[in-house]
Amino acid sequence: MATIEQALEIEQLEKDIFRGKSVETELQRTFGGQVAGQSLVAAVRTVEPQFQVHSLHGYFLRPGNPKAPTVYLVDRIRDGRSFCTRRVTGIQDGKAIFTMSASFHVGDQGIEHQDTMPDVPGPDDIVDQTELTPEQLWLYREWDHWDIRVLPDDRVDHRRGSVAQQQVWFRYREKLPDDPIFHVCTLAYMSDMTLLGSAKVIHPDEPTQTASLDHALWFLRPFRADDWLLYDQTSPSAGFGRALTQGRIYDRSGAMVAAVVQEGLSRTLHES
């Protein structure tokens, strides 16, 4: 399947207007992480290099056609000395499929603290998802450039007492460019993957239609997406056909590098 470089590739059509490439896929609708990642690439290209993205908030408005390109319109909402803000709208066939606001900061000095990384086995002790049976493997074929390792439930650190929790080690298999911005955009792509699965942990046998409704992501510290990252995921609530999910992402040294919140569709499928 497509490499991350291909999945994030966009071309500039004119000032503040970009077009994302469609990629080979077996999915019936555009993967939300690709739209979010391409939107962030478009936003980054309109800010000065001293500004680093620290957060994004996006809404998935319509299913995207994976065989069609997406046009991204960037609005320069604010350009300040310390912060700047961009709003990006992804469009297919004249209709918005995604909208995102991203905030950029020049960085500063201040207080520092973080929660401790969960005490879990390292990735070398967990099965690579590409080694699963064919019945399970289809889900990960789309992302064969990623090494994804889901911890078995009996090895998850449940110290926070969460009802629904999932922990996933992941990394990109090939070495990526050193540009930190590329790794940030890569994480915007990857952070949409597996997160809604945390809501299904305690409902494994209930047929459910799932889709991302929104996505919020905070970039907290530098990282590399081709090094192992732990995605600590919880779903504190689900009801009325929606599930709330949260994620904290740590590097192997224990640094919390990002935080994610997402609400997704979790509609029960009834037999006809």
Last residue of a domain, one of 59, 82, 107: 107
> Is 114 part of a structural domain of the chain?
no
Same domain, yes or no: 129 and 254: yes
Pairing mode, if any, of strands 146-150 and 95-105?
unpaired
The radius of gyration of the chain from alpha carbons, rounded to an integer in Å, stands at 18
Catalytic residue among 22, 212, 235, 266: 212
Rounded to 5, what percent of the chain is helix, strand, coil? 20, 40, 40
80 and 156, same domain (yes or no): no
Residue 262 is a catalytic residue: yes
Amino acid identity of residue 174, one-letter, is E
Last residue of a domain, one of 46, 79, 107: 107
Q: 97 pLDDT exceeds 90?
A: yes
- Looking at 107, 131, 161, the residue that finishes a domain is 107
The catalytic residue among 34, 39, 165, 262 is 262
168 plus 103 within the same structural domain: no
Look at residue 113 and tell me if it is in a domain. no
How far CA 173 is from CA of 2, 51, 170, 193, 234, in Å, comes to 13, 28, 9, 16, 25
For residue range 188-240, what is the model confidence (pLDDT) as tens digits?
999 999 899 899 888 888 888 889 999 999 999 999 999 999 999 999 999 99
Looking at the fold, whether 138 and 92 belong to one and the same domain comes out as: no
192 is catalytic: yes
| Domain that residue 232 falls in | 121-272
Q: Which of 147, 192, 232, 251 is catalytic?
A: 192
Specify if 85 maps to a domain: yes
Q: 231 in a domain, yes or no?
A: yes
Cα 13 from Cα 78, distance rounded (Å):
22
- Overall number of domains in the chain: 2
The reply to whether 238 and 129 lie within a common domain is yes
pTM score of the predicted model: 0.93
Over residues 122-135, the pLDDT tens digits come to: 999 887 765 665 55
